[in-house]
């Protein structure tokens, strides 16, 4: 287990997080989900609030933080080695929204009120599954100013200022920092985001948290970081994506994410300057590389080192690919 360890796709043991809005849907992927209202699986994580550990190959048992420190730019690429406050730059989650999430907004990297050691949070969602009537909150209604939003909060009418959007499986949403948003009940989502755990809550439906007490709101911070002119949020339906072609879902300063439909064998390669993250969102198949192969099923997430080079996807499945821009 040295600097010369041959690169291979890293498969991690998820870190599960209980949330008041969580459920049991992540069990469908075959995970050993702990008891309780499990809302988040941190699939690839290198954060003070959660680190995922490798469960395959020579590096089994090591945390992503240890791998980052040991292999640096050799495995993560020149881009990956300099991003994210010395941590791995991205955080990959699966979210089970059994109930509505709080109405929230994330700061950017430059907000003066950021907690020490934290980054801002730009993120994106890919809807893996959705109930027939599922919806999300996605942005403010046109013409909503800071003053109008503050008044609506004061009057208990914040929902009148928010845009609701119906969602279905295959929809994708880009959520730059400053975008007011909330996932709602009945959706299962893959989330790609900056490596940050900073969220400001505007509204939480006056419900108690897991401890029976009201969850903290962050009204002033939320009003400060909201982009009232629109931060560049965008959405798209990805139904009908052709096999063997990458469909760009999101481009940001922090990540680029594509959707790919695998039917048969697909020869690919990692870029030399960035790792690749693969998330299987539907079906099953395999990944092969110089030195081995491994089965993939829906819910699996893999980190491919930048120096892996050529790899092959096979089978009948849909994957998301994320890398640094």
Q: Which residue ranges make up the annotated binding site for Zn(2+)? A: 106, 123, 181
Dist. CA 287–CA 266, nearest whole Å: 10
Q: Which residues pair with 286 in a beta bridge?
A: 295, 314
Cα separations (Å) of 52 from 73, 93, 171, 240?
19, 11, 27, 33
Report which DSSP code applies to 81.
H
| Farthest CA pair distance, the chain | 62
Q: Is the dihedral of CA 34, 38, 43, 49 positive or negative?
A: negative
Which of 201, 207, 215, 321 is catalytic? The answer is 201
For residue 201, indicate whether it is catalytic: yes
Is residue 298 within 8 Å of 27, Cβ to Cβ? no
Q: Which residues pair with 323 in a beta bridge?
A: 256
Residues with a catalytic annotation lie at: 201
């Amino acid at each position: 287990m040295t600097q010369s360890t041959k690169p291979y796709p890293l498969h991690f043991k998820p870190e599960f997080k209980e949330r008041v809005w969580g459920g049991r849907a992540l069990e469908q992927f075959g995970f050993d989900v702990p008891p309780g209202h499990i809302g988040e699986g941190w699939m690839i994580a290198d954060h003070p609030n959660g680190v995922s550990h490798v469960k395959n190959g020579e590096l089994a048992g090591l945390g992503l933080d240890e791998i980052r420190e040991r292999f640096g730019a050799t495995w993560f690429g020149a881009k990956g080695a300099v991003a994210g406050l010395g941590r791995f730059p991205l955080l990959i989650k699966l979210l089970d929204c059994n109930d509505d999430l709080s109405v929230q907004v994330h700061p950017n990297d430059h907000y003066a009120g950021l907690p020490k050691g934290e980054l801002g949070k730009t993120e994106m969602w890919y809807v893996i599954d959705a109930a027939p009537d599922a919806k999300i909150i996605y942005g403010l209604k046109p013409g909503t100013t800071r003053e109008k939003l503050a008044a609506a909060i004061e009057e208990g009418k914040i929902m009148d200022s928010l845009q609701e959007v119906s969602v279905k499986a295959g929809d994708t949403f880009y959520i730059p920092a400053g975008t007011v948003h909330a996932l709602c009940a009945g959706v299962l989502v893959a989330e790609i985001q900056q490596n940050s755990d900073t969220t400001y809550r505007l509204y939480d439906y006056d419900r108690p948290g897991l401890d029976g007490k009201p969850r903290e709101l962050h009204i002033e911070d939320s009003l400060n970081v909201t982009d009232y002119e629109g931060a560049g949020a965008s959405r798209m339906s990805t139904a009908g994506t052709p096999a063997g072609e990458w469909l760009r879902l999101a481009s940001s300063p922090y990540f680029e994410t594509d959707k790919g439909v695998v039917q048969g064998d697909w020869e690919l390669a990692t870029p030399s300057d960035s790792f690749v993250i693969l998330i299987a969102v539907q079906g099953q198949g395999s990944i092969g590389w110089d030195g081995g192969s491994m089965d993939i099923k829906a819910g699996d997430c893999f980190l491919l080192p930048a120096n892996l080079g050529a790899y092959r996807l096979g089978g009948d499945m849909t994957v998301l690919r994320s890398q640094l821009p």
